[in-house]
Copies of this chain bind each other. A is one copy, B any other.
Amino acid sequence: MSTTNSLDVLIQALRRLPGVGVKSAQRMAFHLLQHDRQGALALSRALEEAVGSVRHCTLCHTFTEAEVCSTCLDPERDATRLCVVETPADQSALERTGAFKGLYFVLMGRLSPLDGIGPQEIGLHKLMERACNGVVQEVILATNFNAEGEATAHVISEALKSRGLHVTRLARGVPVGSELEYVDLGTIAHALVDRR
């Protein structure tokens, strides 16, 4: 695919998408130019528009086009509970359960010292301010249950507890609908410890 320079530029640009190697980028460029030029233009406009208008909520850090996001502005939400998640997608998953009516703080990442992502990058200082506003009574840590997510939860938990806040963590346990013999042993062990 070396005969057209703007095609090469497009393939290189597509490679900046996470998880897209040179083969995928070629296939994407071919598909768009051969079968979906409308889609290519729609994507071009959507990218420009999103970069121009999407910023972070000043209260919870999630993506928003306004100063404060609609969740933070919702007077129906329980302002005494603050749930800490890694990404907007995690927040969205929790919202879809319908089981949480409080507010959120979105870290927009997780601690990962090897990648240069420290407390500053996940907005720990801002989270402390937010949690210590005198209204929040409980901070629920809903970071992922992998090594980095657990480490992130630990650091945040220590910081918040030092300010006397009540900190909880999503329960670890057996996934609903699963059969015990197929669940990994670590999960079963945690479910035993956290039994209620």
Contacts and interface: CB of A to CB of B under 8 A. Distances in A.
Interface in A26-65: 26-34, 36-37, 39-51, 53-54, 57, 62-65
Interface string A54-94: 10010000111100011100000000000000011101100
A54 B17 contact: no
B27 A18 contact: yes
Contact of A9 (B10, B16, B50): B50
Nearest to A72: B3
Interface string A81-112: 00000011101100100000000000011000
Contact of A6 (B9, B33, B46): B46
What interface size band does chain A fall in? 35 or more
A4 interface: yes
A6 B50 contact: yes
How many copies of this chain are found per oligomer?
2
Interface in A176-196: 181-182
B33 A89 contact: no
A108 B64 contact: no
A97 to B, nearest CB: 14
List of 3 A-B pairs having minimum Cβ-Cβ separation, nearest first: A16-B39, A44-B47, A13-B46
